[in-house]
Amino acid sequence: MQQTKPAWYFLALLILAGESVFILPFVLARVFRPTVLKAYELDNVALGLCFSIYGIIALVSYFFGGPLADKYSPRKLIAIALWLTAIGGLVYATFPGFTVLQILYGYWGFTTIFLFWAPMIKATRIWGGSASQGKAFGFLDGGRGLVGALFGILGVVVFSFFLTIEPEAAGINESREAFRYVVLVSSGIVVIVGILVWFFMKMDRDIEKKVLLERITISQIGKVLRLPAVGLLMVIILCAYTGYKITDVLSLYAQDVMLYDQVDAAKVGSFLLFIRPVVGVLIGILADRTQTTLWLFVSFGVTLVGALLFATGIISDSTTLLFFLSILVMATGVYAARSLYFAVMERGRIPLVLTGTAVGLISIIGYTPDIFAGPAMGYLLDSSPGETGHRHVFWMLALFSLAGSVAAWYYYRLYGKRFEI
């Protein structure tokens, strides 16, 4: 049923919050991976285990947090999640030992998922109505990419400003001192975003009454689980999110294979983030005008091509142009899939009022890469140092892209022709 959309700034705040909450646990590690490994005295497997702790706590949080989003206002849940996440940044800035770091990532698994994830997806679906789901989720993911890129640039600027010696000569103390300011500035911005959400991200009361339930029953959860779209989206998101997690190693690839220093490697991570907003906006507009489900299938095919470019070993430190072209191809596929996999919920006839519950159930399987992807990549990288380990990681991406394309094709066959406008 078509409903009046919340104001444009409602989506803008969702975009801002949607990336800000993940800056501390994920974006900084993506942009500054070599620096994070040095400053916290970690290897790739240890960092991957931190992400696994996050994923395990998130797994439980998806299940219980989904129904919560169908009961309470997204505005309040999202704001509280942002503030609690920022508090964790104060601990992160002390460069704790490995045990405390694992606990911190578990804490972030709770703050960023239990109170945040399903409310964000449901609020985006509300904004998109029945005719603009591609645009809503494309703008959300593309906008989040832009916010992440801006955070990445800000982080590089802050890090470069406080790093008082040449990057290649920086020891652990110099790296820590500069990175501490990056963490503290990021935490402060997350707090401010939470304040903006609390006061300004409001929905009309009539809309709120239609999309919130007094309580969630076991029969309603069973009804959601029986929908074919839910099972397929579990597989689709699992494969697409694995691809997204693998983009974390590109700044490390720049250092290990392309032989860049810490600052230049971080710039590669920031360049990657700038691809995301362009892809999100374009694919969202295109999908609403054509077939959302078909473009989801195409996105996996593009990801597969990009993965094979890296996996076959044709990229080296002397092929800079090919390196950036390969990043562009792979990132286009990965970010297109991210933009579309929740946008097809409307086509899969998942009830709007049960969106939070559906998202929670789908995410239990779909986001398990938070548990296994980090250790798997760390093992592949550390057991075969240098270019060989990176090639193994991208073969892993190729396999998941192939599986995702099969699931996406089946989703298109079930829902694409029958329900597309």
Q: Helices marked H in 201-227 — which ranges?
A: 205-211, 218-225
pLDDT score for 206: 64
Output the six-digit token pair for 140: 């959300």
Q: Please tell me the distance from the alpha carbon of residue 111 to that of residue 250, in angstroms, as a whole number.
A: 27
Whole-model pTM over 0.75: yes
350, 227 Cβ separation under 8 angstroms: yes
Compute the chain's Rg from CA coordinates. Answer: 20
Q: Please tell me the distance from the alpha carbon of residue 174 to that of residue 22, in angstroms, as a whole number.
A: 25
275, 328 Cβ separation under 8 angstroms: yes
Within 13 Å and on the Cβ side, how many CA atoms surround 313? Answer: 6
pLDDT in single tens digits along all 421 residues of the chain: 344 566 778 889 999 999 999 999 988 887 788 888 888 888 888 888 898 899 889 888 988 888 787 777 888 899 999 999 999 999 999 999 999 999 999 999 999 999 998 889 888 888 877 667 788 888 888 888 888 878 888 888 888 887 777 666 566 777 788 889 999 999 999 999 999 999 988 876 666 666 655 556 677 677 777 888 899 999 999 999 999 989 888 888 888 888 887 777 877 777 777 788 889 889 888 887 778 889 999 999 999 999 999 999 888 777 888 988 999 999 999 999 998 988 888 887 787 777 888 888 898 899 888 888 888 888 898 888 888 899 999 999 999 999 999 999 999 988 875 444 3
pLDDT score for 419: 42
57, 137 Cβ separation under 8 angstroms: no
109, 232 Cβ separation under 8 angstroms: no
For the chain, the structural domain boundaries read 8-419
Report DSSP state, residue 169.
Answer: G
Name the CATH superfamily housing domain 8-419.
MFS general substrate transporter like domains (1.20.1250.20)
Output the six-digit token pair for 416: 């694409």
The helix, strand and coil proportions of the chain, stated in percent and rounded to the nearest 5, come to 80, 0, 20
Of 399, 61, 24, the residue nearest 242 (C-alpha)? 399
pLDDT score for 310: 92
